[in-house]
Amino acid sequence: MGEGVVGSGESPREEGVSAPGIPAGVVLKVDVDTFRGTREGVPGILEELERAGVKASFFFTLGADRSGRAIFRVFRKKGFLSKMARTNPLKMYGLRTLLYGTLLPAPRIGKRLSGLIRSVREAGHETGLHAWDHVKWQDSLERMSPGEIEKEIRLGVEAYGEIFGERPRLFAAPAWLATDPALEALEKAGFSAVSLSRGRVGPFRLAVGGRPLEMVEVPTTLPTLDECLGREGVTRENWNEKLLSLYRPGEVEVLTIHAETEGLAYRAELRDLLERHRRLGIPHLTLGEAACRIPAEDLPVRPLSLGTVPGRAGRVAVPGKEA
Ligand SMILES: [Zn+2]
């Protein structure tokens, strides 16, 4: 795997069909990382989506919430401390979350909150798997054996099955981290569309070692709130303007929001964003819809590599060169 930084130099592939400045659509991808985010943040996001009449794609963490372990990242990852100082983790995650898996027992999210998780699908939204153990994937994926990765995915798939009565078809990688063994394990587990990487490119078919997989990758094309807040003059007051300025005419943008942020302390900003979308006539689509907008056989094929994005500690998966 190579190294790279996500830039905006990649030329758009899809033909513009909308008015200048207006994207062809925005995918709202909702990552749910923690017990508190599921219990308190998801209902907030559901209310805002319902108010705006928008359908989104939710990705759930279903195993034990060991977020307290994230504290130890301070010692390991460059940039984590400065991000924590900028974004006030106590406000974003709450004290209990920061202690789960350390001083407090880790609650099993999918078991404890299955009714709430099911209600997201019942409200008409798309659902997929985010993680079994978010912290483990985020901190250890690069050191895990293929067997360990398969086990993490299997546990998540089983927990999802207990809630929804079927296998998940969609997967979003915790912390946008994915390796070739993870791609192979996800393909084996039968996922049809995944969102693993960060990059300003449209959907593509993934490849491992030059071999194309069936899975379609839909990268997150926009930065996240926590990456931008406090950097380069971005405040909560001008965040949505900044976001809209990044929308590319005629392209599909994929925005990752978090139950822990936009569902709680930054809910007013989400409401304002959806209101701006309505005023500008920007349509929404789900991640699954974005994945099949172009027939799979016409999609480019790309591997993933690891790179960095501004404002985020650690490495993330980025799209490699078109094969
Ligand atoms: Zn996550």
pLDDT of residue 83: 63
Exposure of 112 by Cβ count < 10 A (0-12 exposed, 13-18 middle, 19+ buried)? middle
Position 250 pLDDT exceeds 50? yes
pLDDT of residue 99: 73
Q: How far is the CA of 128 from the centre of ligand 1 (A)?
A: 12
pLDDT of residue 130: 98
Beta carbons within 10 angstroms of residue 294's beta carbon: 16
Mean pLDDT of the chain, nearest integer = 89
Q: How far is the CA of 234 from the centre of ligand 1 (A)?
A: 22
Q: How far is the CA of 16 from the centre of ligand 1 (A)?
A: 31
Of 56, 14, 55, give the one whose Cα is nearest residue 251: 14
Q: Per-residue pLDDT averaged across 86-105, rounded?
A: 69
Q: How far is the CA of 252 from the centre of ligand 1 (A)?
A: 21
Tens of pLDDT along 261-292? 999 999 999 999 999 999 999 999 999 999 99
Residue 298 tokens, joined:
């016409």
pLDDT of residue 19: 46
Architecture in CATH for domain 3-319: Alpha-Beta Barrel (3.20)
Q: How far is the CA of 32 from the centre of ligand 1 (A)?
A: 6
Q: How far is the CA of 298 from the centre of ligand 1 (A)?
A: 30
Q: How far is the CA of 254 from the centre of ligand 1 (A)?
A: 15
Q: Per-residue pLDDT averaged across 301-314, rounded?
A: 95
Kindly state the greatest CA–CA separation across the chain.
Answer: 54
Residues whose CB falls within 8 Å of the CB of residue 167, separated by 6 or more in sequence, listed in order? 157, 160, 161, 189, 190
Phi then psi for residue 4, to 5 deg, are -170, 165
State whether residue 264 is helix, strand or coil. Answer: helix
Round to whole Å and give the CA distance between 91 and 30.
19
pLDDT of residue 301: 98
Q: How far is the CA of 243 from the centre of ligand 1 (A)?
A: 20
Give residues whose Cβ lies within 5 Å of ion ligand 1: 31, 33, 174
pLDDT of residue 107: 81
Tens of pLDDT along 65-93? 987 765 555 545 556 656 666 666 666 66
Q: How far is the CA of 210 from the centre of ligand 1 (A)?
A: 28
SS3 breakdown of the chain: % helix, strand, coil, rounded to 5?
45, 20, 35
pLDDT of residue 94: 72
Q: How far is the CA of 317 from the centre of ligand 1 (A)?
A: 14
Rg (CA), the chain: 18
Round to whole Å and give the CA distance between 156 and 158.
5
Q: How far is the CA of 1 from the centre of ligand 1 (A)?
A: 23
